[in-house]
Amino acid sequence: MADPYDFERAWLAKFSHCLDEIAGEEIRKEVMVGSETLSARSSPDLCEPQSSAAVIAWSRQAMDRLDALVDEQRRRAIMVGCACQYPRSDLQAIREVFASTGDVDLAHQMLQEQFESFLRTVLRLDDELVAEIVQRGWGSAGVRRGNTVIATKIPKSGYLVAYMAEPDPVKKRELYCHCPRIRDALKASERISPTYCYCGAGFYKGIWEEILQEPVEVELLESVLQGDGVCKVAIYLP
Q: How many residues does the chain have?
A: 238
Alpha-carbon span 58 to 188, nearest angstrom: 14
Say whether pLDDT at 70 is over 80. Answer: yes
pLDDT for the residue numbered 38: 82
pLDDT at 52: 83
DSSP 230: S
| DSSP class of 235 | E
pLDDT greater than 50 at residue 50? no
Kindly state the average pLDDT of the residues 211-236: 96
User: Mind listing the pLDDT tens digit for each residue in 108-123?
Assistant: 999 999 999 999 999 9
Q: How confident is the model at residue 16 (pLDDT cuts 50, 70, 90)?
A: very high
CA distance 98 to 211: 7
> Does residue 40 register a pLDDT over 50?
no
First vs last C-alpha separation in the chain: 44
- What does the alpha-carbon distance between residue 177 and residue 67 come to, in Å, rounded to a whole number? 22
Residue 131 near residue 208 (C-beta atoms within 8 A): no
